[in-house]
Each structure stands twice: as C-alpha cells, then as structure tokens.
C-alpha cells in the first residue's frame, strides 16, 4: 500500500484543523444540560447523506473493502514487469483509497455528532481495524516500486501516459527510499498502526466522552453550572474575575486528579513515535515527523529560536494587560478577557456568515460563491449539543465528497473568527479536491493553517476598516494581539515543549507528571515574562492538549500564521496577481512539496524574516494601542 489508507485514517483521526483557541458553545453560561440534537434546526446540522444515503450503504462499502484485501495479491511480484502492470496496481490502490476516505469521513462525522452513541464509534473502530489489514495487504507496493531500477521506472512513465500523473508521488517515494522497509517489515508496520494509535485514541475518548468536570457557581446567579470545554472557554472571556478563576480551577480538576493516567498516555504516544522513527531509520521522532512532508528541521528550529529569543512583545502585552485591567498579579485566566468590555457584542451564527462573506470578498467571486454553497447546503454543524465532540475542525480533503466543518457556536466575536478560520480550511480542501487528481488531492498540515489564518487576517482588516469608534478600534487591535499571542507564541511554546519532551524521552529520561508540569510551567513563565503568575493548574496544560498526540503538529500553526500575514500583505500591495497566487495555492494540493507550494504563493519559509515580521508587527500594534490609550 502506498500509505493512502494509512494517511486517510491518520488524517481523519486528527480532524482538528482548529483555531487552537476557541471551543465555544450554545448557552455557555446558562444552567442545566446542553441541548440534544433533535432540538437544533436541520439547517444548522450536517447533512451526511451527501456522503452515504444510509448506514446500510456504508456497510455495503465496508463489505466491498473487505473483499479488496485479498485482491491486492493479484499485483504482488508483477509491478516491475511492465508499465501496464504498474498502472493497474496504482489505479486499483487509488480506487480503494477513495472509498476508504469516504467511509472514514462518514463514520467519523457520525461519531462526533454524539460520542455517547456507541454505534458510530464501533463503525469507526471497525474501519480502523480494516484499514490496518488493507495497508498490510498492499504493503509490498512501495518496496516493489523501489526495486525497479530508476531508468526503467521513468521509462515506464514515459511509455504510459496515465502514469505521468504519479510523477511527483514517485519522486517523493525515491526521496524516502532509505526509510522504506522490506515487504515483511512494511506489513508489520501497517499491522502495528492501530496499536501505536492507542494512546491518542484513549486520550480522545477520555477528553471528549468520559471526563467528568465539576459544577461551579454561575456568573450572575447562585445557580450551579457544569463545566464543559465550551463553557470553560466562554468563561475565560467573562469580565467577572472570580467567575473566570473558579471555572479555570474547576476545569483542571479532572486532569490533575488523573495525572498519572494522562502522563502514561502522553509517554505512550512518544514511545509509539520512537518505535516508528527507529524502525524507519530516522535519528529521532521529530525528523521522522517532518520528513513526511520534506520539511527541513531548520524551519522548526528557526521558528522556536526566533520566538523564544523575541518574546519581549508578549512580555509587553502581559504588562499592558495587567495595567489596564488594574490587577496586582496576572494569571492564565486573565489572558483571554477583553480590555474593552464596552464594545463586546454577541453575534448570531447567521450574522457571522454575513460578516465572513463581506470580509473575504477580496479573494474573488469564485471563492465567495463556493463559500455560499457551503453555507447553504449544510456543510457545517453549528451548535454544541449533548455528547457532541468539543472544539472546531474542518474534515479535510476527501476525494469525490465535499468537506465538512464542526463548530460549537457561542455568539462571541471569537466564534466569528473560528468560522472564518474553519472555512479557510474548508475551501482549501474543496478547491484541492476539485482541481487535483486523487494522488495529490490532499495537503500537508504545514500549509493547511495558511488558508485558515489568511481568512482571519482578512476578517480582522474588514472589521478594523469598519470600526465606528476609538474603543472599537482598540478592541480589534486587541484581537490582533490575541491572535499573535495564541496562534504564534502559544503554539511555538507548545512546539518547544513537545520537542523537549520527546528529546528527554529519547535520552532515556522518565517523564513523570511532576517533571512534565515543571517543564511546562517554566516555559510558560519564560514566554509570558515576569508579570505572569504561573498557577499549579496551568502547569498541567500538557495533560489536556490533544495536539500533542499528533506528533510535531503544533509548530505549523505558528509558521502558517507567519506565512499568511505575508500573503495578506501582498494582496494589499499587488491586488489581483497576489489573489491569483493564493487561489493557485489553495488548489495545488500535494502536487509539490509544501515548502515549494508556499514559495510559488510568494513566501519563502526558509527566511527568518517571515517569522521576525510577526514579532515586529506585534510591537507596532502595541505602540498603536498605547498611543490610543493615552489620547
């Protein structure tokens, strides 16, 4: 198998092309239980019949895929015989991958609508198990292709026109030849996939289904409310500091109580990564993770070093926020609340849709028409309901089917930005699948967050341009500063912590809950500076972040944010040529390496100036805020 099924399932397991900072909900501070799905209007819920008309249709494809396991044997030992044999094998592999993608999309989305409904969890688990069998059955393909002499392989491509579409894929295969194992070992790696995924799967079920948050006193009454992810993040925006603090401390209770379990899962994920890296002859887990998309380690190192060495804007922001809020000390639960509550406004989902359509108009008529199609045809699941997966994500590219978006709408400005963010992913996936053949109808996470943060930047520009008062402009500058804080600095801090945790484990050190907490707390303090008080609860952030189970994923939020700021600046400077490059970027999929796709769009991620530009922009925004506050 050329990793198609494995890649599909890994992508679906992630399903978190998310903002990283907004997990909102319906009636976040209201009492009682969350609404059930039957209480939500159909237009605000996914229409999964666009994928399969019924569960029975899914089951029919499941049986079909079971039969494909044995059919892989027809190509074994023959791939190098002729161009026709190679093409037949690759086309068969594509067909299996396309069907698996659709099955994974349906079962995953159905599962996430209500994690307490075990039917769809069972369907998804069955698919994961089957994917391992299919991957094992096709595990000989790549080793056999790599045994073909290169001149003979390219002769096949020249001889058979339909093989030419696989050129980039074959080049990448040859690039990673030294990390490709024998047929027997590739089969073993495929069979071990579900086992290596156990830590992440167990963490996901704990966080999304089994976790039991405490009840706390509500903000404006003596009523008690039960904490959820959505209510936690909504509370952090509250102007009532006591309410923020009690929700914050209550939220961490189950993580601290289960610190040994969560540390075991955290370490288990690292060790699974070490197994993969060692088996595939990489020096370490980070190299193995970045090499999948041919990302130089220097890009990661440059980001972490540049952000860490230039954390002064974040220190400034912490001090300024502390001063304006009139606080004696600054805590993590003070970092989200606005300095300008008088301009706080609630937004309905429909108002958020209209704002996005207006703000993203600079990307052109085609882009806007595609957005309208998504908004009008139930591609989006809007509100938090009982048992629904927390967070926000776009489902990624599934060839032949449109992508879907999960939200947990709470009516805040942050929700409007989440909508813009996720629709950036959604349009990226849609345009990729529409314009690329199946082998390249996907894209790496390294470029994924560029599409989403371009949308956020355009939305922010639109809102600032239409600000009606100094206070509103200040609030929007604050929003920009918050984006830089949580998308650039926070994700880079996560990346530094993740790297340190992996490196210490690879050296043979044991990472106990206390050591992990000490590591995280020290980095949190270093990034935020001397004005920040690090509470014991904050030290346990490592225990609740799902992205740490995706293995060197988070750094890409920060690099993508830097790239998107550069691309939006080019749109302002150049107009249509820059817009055309962005649309081409959104349509390119994996037809080139992600570094090269970004370079074609106009950004060289090997340049430290791209990262430093964010630092400089944050300082400039702080200067503007201080000047406006002094007027």
Catalytic residues: 422
Distance of alpha carbon 40 from alpha carbon 44, whole angstroms:
7
405 φ, ψ (degrees, to nearest 5): -125, 135
393 φ, ψ (degrees, to nearest 5): -160, 165
- In the β-sheet with 393-394, what is the strand arrangement from edge to edge? 380-381, 405-406, 393-394
Asked if 359 and 479 count as a contact pair (C-beta separation under 8 A), the reply is: no
3-state DSSP assignment of residue 157: helix
> Angle, nearest 10°, between helix axes 594-601 and 576-587?
160
- Strand 380-381 with 405-406, pairing: parallel
Q: What residues contact residue 284 under an 8 Å CB cut-off, 6+ apart?
A: 277, 502, 503, 506
Nearest C-alpha neighbor of 207 from the set 391, 382, 393: 391
CA distances to 244, 316, 318, 620 from 531, rounded to whole Å, are: 19, 9, 7, 21
Largest CA distance in the chain: 78
> Angle, nearest 10°, between helix axes 608-630 and 555-574?
70
Burial per residue of 487-516, b for 16 or more beta-carbon CB atoms within 10 angstroms, e otherwise: bbbbbbbbbbbbbbbbebbbeeeebebeeb
* DSSP code at position 41: -
Distance of alpha carbon 533 from alpha carbon 333, whole angstroms:
10
């Amino acid at each position: 198998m050329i990793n198609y099924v494995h890649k599909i399932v890994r992508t679906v397991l992630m399903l978190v092309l998310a903002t990283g900072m907004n997990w909102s909900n319906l009636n976040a501070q209201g009492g009682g239980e969350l609404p059930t799905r039957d209480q939500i209007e159909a237009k605000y819920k996914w229409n999964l019949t666009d994928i399969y008309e019924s569960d029975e249709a899914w089951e029919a494809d499941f049986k079909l895929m079971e039969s494909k396991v044995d059919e892989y044997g027809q190509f074994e030992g023959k791939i190098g015989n002729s161009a026709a044999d190679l093409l037949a094998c690759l086309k068969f592999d594509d067909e299996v991958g396309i069907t698996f993608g659709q099955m994974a999309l349906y079962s995953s989305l159905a599962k996430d609508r209500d994690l307490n409904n075990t039917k769809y969890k069972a369907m998804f688990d069955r698919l994961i198990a089957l994917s391992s069998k299919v991957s094992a059955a096709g595990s000989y393909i790549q080793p056999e292709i790599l045994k073909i002499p290169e001149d003979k392989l390219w002769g096949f491509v020249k001889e058979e026109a339909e093989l030419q579409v696989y050129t980039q894929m074959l080049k990448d295969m040859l690039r990673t030849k030294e990390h490709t194992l024998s047929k027997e070992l590739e089969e073993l790696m495929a069979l071990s996939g579900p086992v290596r995924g156990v830590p992440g799967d167990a963490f996901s079920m704990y966080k999304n289904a089994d976790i039991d948050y405490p009840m706390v006193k509500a903000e404006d009454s003596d009523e008690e409310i039960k904490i959820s992810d959505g209510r936690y993040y909504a509370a952090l925006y509250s102007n009532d500091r006591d309410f923020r603090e009690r929700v914050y401390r209550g939220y961490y209770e189950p993580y601290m109580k289960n610190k040994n379990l969560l540390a075991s899962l955290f370490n288990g994920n690292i060790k699974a990564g070490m197994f993969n890296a060692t088996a595939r002859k990489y020096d370490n887990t980070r190299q193995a993770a970045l090499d999948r998309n041919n990302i130089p380690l220097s890009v990661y190192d440059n980001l972490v070093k540049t952000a860490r060495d230039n954390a002064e804007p974040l220190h400034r922001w912490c001090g300024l926020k502390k001063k304006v809020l009139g606080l004696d000390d600054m805590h993590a639960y003070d970092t989200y609340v606005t300095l300008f509550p008088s301009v706080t406004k609630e937004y309905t989902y429909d108002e958020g849709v209209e704002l996005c359509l207006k703000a993203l108009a600079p990307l052109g008529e085609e882009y806007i028409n595609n957005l309208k199609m998504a908004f009008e045809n139930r591609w989006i699941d809007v509100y938090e309901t009982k048992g629904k997966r927390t967070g926000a994500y776009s489902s990624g590219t599934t060839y032949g089917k449109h992508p879907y978006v999960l939200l947990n709408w709470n009516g805040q400005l942050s929700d409007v930005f989440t909508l813009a963010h996720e629709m950036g992913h959604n349009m990226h996936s849609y345009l990729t699948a529409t314009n690329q053949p199946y082998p390249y109808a996907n894209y790496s996470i390294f470029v994924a967050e560029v599409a989403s943060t371009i949308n956020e930047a355009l939305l922010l520009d639109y809102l600032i341009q239409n600000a009606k008062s100094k206070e509103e402009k200040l609030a929007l500058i604050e929003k920009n500063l918050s984006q830089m804080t949580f998308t650039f600095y926070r994700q880079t801090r996560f990346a530094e912590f993740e790297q340190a945790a992996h490196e210490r484990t690879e050296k043979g050190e044991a990472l106990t809950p206390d050591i992990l907490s000490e590591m995280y707390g020290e980095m949190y303090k270093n990034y935020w500076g001397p004005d920040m008080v690090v509470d014991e609860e904050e030290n346990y952030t490592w225990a609740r972040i799902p992205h740490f189970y995706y293995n060197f994923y988070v750094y890409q939020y920060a690099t993508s944010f830097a790239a998107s700021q550069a691309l939006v600046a080019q749109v302002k400077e150049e107009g249509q040529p820059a817009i055309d490059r962005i649309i081409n970027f959104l349509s390119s999929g994996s037809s080139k390496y992600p570094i090269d796709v970004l370079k074609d769009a106009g950004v060289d991620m090997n340049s430290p100036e791209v990262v430093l530009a964010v630092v400089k922009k944050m300082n400039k925004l702080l200067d503007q805020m201080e000047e406006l506050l002094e007027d």
